[in-house]
Amino acid sequence: MGENKRLMLAGEWYLPDDEELGTDTVRRVDLCSAYNGTGGNELPDADGRRRILGELLGSVGEGVRIRPPFNCDFGTYISIGARTFVNFGAIFLDSAPITVGSDVQIGPNVQLLTPTHELDTERRRAGWERASPVTIGDNVWLGGGVIVCPGVTIGANTVVGAGSVVTKDLPAGVLAVGNPARVIRRLE
């Protein structure tokens, strides 16, 4: 493993324009294109999509359904639990691990984002970034258009309302809405 990839996975500052990371990106582009049916071929059947997901993602539980289009940074750092449903237009930027539990419902156009960029203007211009894991607990529902920011954990059985931006951890069993998302009540 190269130094930049090691730094990326350790949550340290790294430069994403790296030959090794570029090779990983080419792999992801090819697999996402095949999955989404944008590589000049028809959309694969259910068995074909399942095979592509198994090759693209780090782990895929039984009965996972992801509606295309689906896009990610690498794929290999994404784990999705059994019976999870991901609707159209999902973007999972997995420069750090993304862990999605079982029985999760993810609405259309949801973004799970692990990378962040440098605030210093010169370092940002040079391309420095780092990443922090995102964890989604079992039986979570993320409404359409939800954005989950780097380093966030959402506890089991929590619901996040459509269009919310989750910037901080959310506990288990709550309803959260807004930008930034805030807990408005406990769920029974």
Residues serving a catalytic function are 117
Yes or no: say if 61 and 80 are a contact pair by the CB < 8 Å rule. Answer: yes
Yes or no: say if 27 and 33 are a contact pair by the CB < 8 Å rule. Answer: no
Per DSSP, the residues of 54-101 read HHHSSEE-TT-EEPSPEEES-STTEEE-TT-EE-TTEEEE-SS-EEE-
